[in-house]
Structure 1
Amino acid sequence: MSLIDDLSASDLAARRAEVQAKYDAFRAKGLKLDMTRGKPASDQLDLSNALLALPGEGDFKAASGEDVRNYGNLQGLAEARALFAPILGAAPENIVVGGNSSLALMHDTLVDALVKGAPGSPRPWGKDEEVVFLCPSPGYDRHFAICEEYGIRMIPVRLTGHGPDMDEVERLVADPAVKGMWCVPKYSNPTGEIYSDETVRRLAAMKTGAPDFRLFWDNAYCVHHLTPARHGLADVLAACAGAGAPDRAFVFASTSKITLAGAGLAFFASSPANVKWRLASMGRSTIGSDKVNQLRHARFLRDVAGIEALMDRHRALIAPKFEAVIDAFERHLSGTGAARWSAPEGGYFISVDAAPGTAKRVVELAKEAGVALTPAGATYPLGRDPQDRNLRIAPTVPGLAEVRAASEGVAICILLAAIEARGTQLAGKAA
């Protein structure tokens, strides 16, 4: 297949007519599919239906002897904290179990820092003239939305395939206005990359202008593998402690894509000082999270081996969907120069870099054909992709047959948008 940029004007016109016919045929199918968010499909949620029968009639006592139906235990059940300690890289006493949403924990942690300051803060962040966050991009739109809501200036940082460009990060954090950085360190949303050991080491050891700088370490996909390989990740808490910055990292995770997305557990892990600070703030708003849910998770998952076995069952359901997307892209787009895409080994997304200036057009074409994609630009702060090229594909919710059909169409949309853009470019040169 020829590179689009190498085609003559006449060959490009012929190619466009061919691809347009394929697009028209795809549009005529009348599909109605949503690939906008990385959510578990119903058959994935079914894997954890047994949770709903737990902890069992008359069996509401935790290992400590406490009745989980009652108030109290703000930090969370010891067995729930111990279950996730190896995954979070923290001692159980340095873990807090929240409600069902790690995003809520991130939001509240950031707001508390703005209003009251974090441990080591000379004053509340909100009292500073400006608060700045570094945002590895493409990244998670909901992280960016929190910053936007509270007037925090965001600086995009390029991703390298092994994490953020650390030369750029180290240069930027010298500014005392830079208070934090969003990180999805394993199977990043949406690129799928894993932060290298060297990246984690440099993030922990770098000199920052702000004494209270924090890494918001959203390890959302810590056990979410798409291949038999269970890739690891350097322990950021140990790295920070070893570098003399024990309070630097706020670690977040949840069971949202492990058990029941709307009824899971969220976790905060950090240094003793940060945990004490977080608990003091939580104590003003709640007397304790849902300990019944914590107990049912501890009994259902049992141990790390139990979590891994469950995630293997998830992988069996969703890995073929990722393979279907990549297969369609390879067949329609390889050798055309129209796009490049990730082949993630974990997580929930495929990241596509389409031809510059075409991402919005791809989303528009897909919508007209009945396939809803994440809005173009969503993976950058304020929704502004400087090159209008990144697309986030979320294949988990539709069934496999639907993913196959949608992937064919999305690939055609990407190719058609690239051909259109090249045609416009050639017409401009001719004029």
Structure 2
Amino acid sequence: MPALLDLPPETLAVWERRTRDLYDSFRSRELKLDMTRGKPSPEQLALSNGMLTLPGNGDYQTEAGEDARNYGGIQGLPETRRLFAPMLDAPPDQIVVAENSSLAVMHDCLVWALLKGVPGGTEPWSRAASPAFICPVPGYDRHFALCEEFGFRLLPVAMNEDGPDMDAVEALAADPSVKGMWCVPKYSNPTGAVYSAATVRRLATMKTGAPDFRLFWDNAYAVHHLTGIQPELADVLTLAREAGHADRPFIFASTSKVTLAGAGLAFFGGSPANVAWYLARANRRTIGPDKLNQLRHVRFLRDFSGLERHMAAQRHLLAPKFAAVTEALDRHLSDLGTVRWTTPAGGYFISVDAMDGTARRTVELARELGIALTPAGATWPGGVDPNDRVLRLAPTFPNVETVKIAAEGIALCIRLAAIERALAVSNMGHSPRM
């Protein structure tokens, strides 16, 4: 079957009429569906309802015999840190348990680095001339927004199947003004890529112009598998320490998509020096975290095997939704030859590379169908995708039947936008940049 761009205008015109007829029929349903953000569904949240009665029977004592209702324990309960240590791939004594939002922990780390500097540095980051962050793209819009809030320059690098383009990363990191890099190393948002062992090693060992360079290692999806295949992620803390860069990784994670999204736990992990730095700053900010919530997580999940069983139940709910999206994309788009999409083994998103110049049009067409999508460009710094190509699909929140309907409509929108673009270019007598 010829690719879309190789078809003659008369064939494209027929395809456009047929696709528009399907689109118009779909629009008559007058839907109102939201596929914008990766939120857990009510069914996923219900898996953790047992936590709401914990800790029960008036037993608020920690393993050490302390009252979890009182002040103190700024690093977090030892039993909580021990339970989640495998999720961060860090020793329990090199983990801090915070409140519910890992994004808030990242925010604090950025602000403290700007105001106070970090271990290994000679001055606060705010005194650097135009500090910058490396940003793999497509990536997570909230990461970019944090840096933009505080005036960092954002330097995009391409994301490959095994992680970011390391040649580009190493070249950028040689600049002393580049202070850090965003990394979602396992089931990256939105592509689902898993960093290879070689990529993690290069990140941990590469030469950097800034001696206080930091990897903001957001392991948000460490246990969020969609298949029975559970890829191992190389241990960035150990690799960095062995290379003489022990302080390079700042590790973040949370249970926002594990237990209760608004009432989970957030984590910071790093070298002993980084943990001491974090606790020194946090000790001015709070008298202690919510240890009752830490205790209920421990009593609900019990151990890491319990966490894995809990996530297997999550997978049972999520995998059919991802399969429904993939099926619709396969059925409607495989013959175009100009559209690609990911089939992630974990995480919360599917990333689509539509035809160049069609992502915004696709979002517009979807809106006319009553389907809200993440804005085109959201996966790039500044909200501007230079190729107007990437779409981030979030199938987790709606039920399976709703996802099937939405996926059908989204696939039609991608198809129609691509055919419109190809027909317009064909009529002009040249091909779009791909």
- TM-score tier, shorter chain, comes to over 0.9
Paired amino acid for 1:403: V
Secondary structure at 1:180 match in 2: strand
User: Which residue in the other structure is 2:257 paired with?
Assistant: 257
Structure 1 stretch displaced more, 159-168 or 1-10: 1-10
Paired amino acid for 1:153: R
User: Which residue in the other structure is 2:120 paired with?
Assistant: 120
Structure 2's unaligned 5+ residue stretches are none
User: Which residue in the other structure is 2:34 paired with?
Assistant: 34
- Alpha carbons 2:366, 2:410 under 8 Å: kept: yes
Secondary structure at 2:363 match in 1: helix
Counterparts of 2:218 and 2:353, CA distance in 1: 24
Counterparts of 1:387 and 1:221, CA distance in 2: 27
Secondary structure at 1:368 match in 2: helix
User: Which residue in the other structure is 2:382 paired with?
Assistant: 382
Secondary structure at 2:429 match in 1: helix
Counterparts of 1:8 and 1:202, CA distance in 2: 47
Paired amino acid for 2:30: G
Post-superposition Cα deviations, 1:259-297, rounded to whole Å, max 9, x if no partner, equal 000000000000000000000111111011100000000
User: Which residue in the other structure is 1:25 paired with?
Assistant: 25
Counterparts of 2:207 and 2:257, CA distance in 1: 35
Counterparts of 2:106 and 2:26, CA distance in 1: 41
Counterparts of 1:338 and 1:362, CA distance in 2: 14
- Alpha carbons 1:97, 1:266 under 8 Å: kept: yes
Secondary structure at 1:133 match in 2: strand
Map 1:312-351 → 2, pairs under 5 A: 312-351=312-351
User: Which residue in the other structure is 1:49 paired with?
Assistant: 49
User: Which residue in the other structure is 2:184 paired with?
Assistant: 184
Counterparts of 1:244 and 1:168, CA distance in 2: 22
Secondary structure at 1:283 match in 2: helix
Q: CA deviation at 1:136?
A: 0.4
Report whether the alignment pairs 1:291 with 2:287: no
Paired amino acid for 2:50: A
Report whether the alignment pairs 1:199 with 2:199: yes
Paired amino acid for 2:411: A
User: Which residue in the other structure is 1:104 paired with?
Assistant: 104
Q: CA deviation at 1:428?
A: 2.0
Paired amino acid for 2:257: K
Counterparts of 1:196 and 1:243, CA distance in 2: 18
Map 1:28-427 → 2, pairs under 5 A: 28-427=28-427
Counterparts of 1:176 and 1:417, CA distance in 2: 43
Secondary structure at 2:385 match in 1: coil
- Alpha carbons 1:363, 1:372 under 8 Å: kept: yes
Counterparts of 2:249 and 2:215, CA distance in 1: 5
Secondary structure at 1:139 match in 2: coil
Paired amino acid for 1:183: C
- Alpha carbons 1:338, 1:415 under 8 Å: kept: no
Counterparts of 1:208 and 1:201, CA distance in 2: 14
Post-superposition Cα deviations, 1:64-89, rounded to whole Å, max 9, x if no partner, equal 11100001010000100000112211
Secondary structure at 1:335 match in 2: coil
Paired amino acid for 1:360: R
Counterparts of 2:151 and 2:9, CA distance in 1: 48
CA RMSD of aligned residues (A): 0.8
Secondary structure at 2:220 match in 1: coil
Counterparts of 1:181 and 1:392, CA distance in 2: 21
Counterparts of 1:174 and 1:228, CA distance in 2: 39
- Alpha carbons 1:185, 1:217 under 8 Å: kept: yes
Q: CA deviation at 1:427?
A: 2.2
Secondary structure at 1:159 match in 2: strand
What is the number of equivalent residue pairs in this alignment? 430
Paired amino acid for 1:149: E
Counterparts of 1:40 and 1:120, CA distance in 2: 39
Counterparts of 2:68 and 2:115, CA distance in 1: 32
Paired amino acid for 1:407: A
Counterparts of 1:308 and 1:114, CA distance in 2: 37
Q: CA deviation at 1:2?
A: 4.3
Counterparts of 1:338 and 1:22, CA distance in 2: 20
Q: CA deviation at 1:423?
A: 1.4
Q: CA deviation at 1:329?
A: 0.4
- Alpha carbons 2:8, 2:426 under 8 Å: kept: no
Counterparts of 1:37 and 1:129, CA distance in 2: 35
Counterparts of 1:41 and 1:178, CA distance in 2: 38
Counterparts of 1:199 and 1:231, CA distance in 2: 14
TM-score where L is the length of structure 2: 0.98
Post-superposition Cα deviations, 1:182-220, rounded to whole Å, max 9, x if no partner, equal 000000000001000000000000000000000000000
Q: CA deviation at 1:162?
A: 0.2
Counterparts of 1:97 and 1:298, CA distance in 2: 12
Counterparts of 1:87 and 1:112, CA distance in 2: 25
Post-superposition Cα deviations, 1:6-44, rounded to whole Å, max 9, x if no partner, equal 211111111100000011011111111100000100000
- Alpha carbons 1:366, 1:409 under 8 Å: kept: yes
Secondary structure at 1:135 match in 2: strand
Counterparts of 2:340 and 2:140, CA distance in 1: 20
Report whether the alignment pairs 1:9 with 2:36: no
Counterparts of 2:181 and 2:328, CA distance in 1: 35
Q: CA deviation at 1:429?
A: 2.3
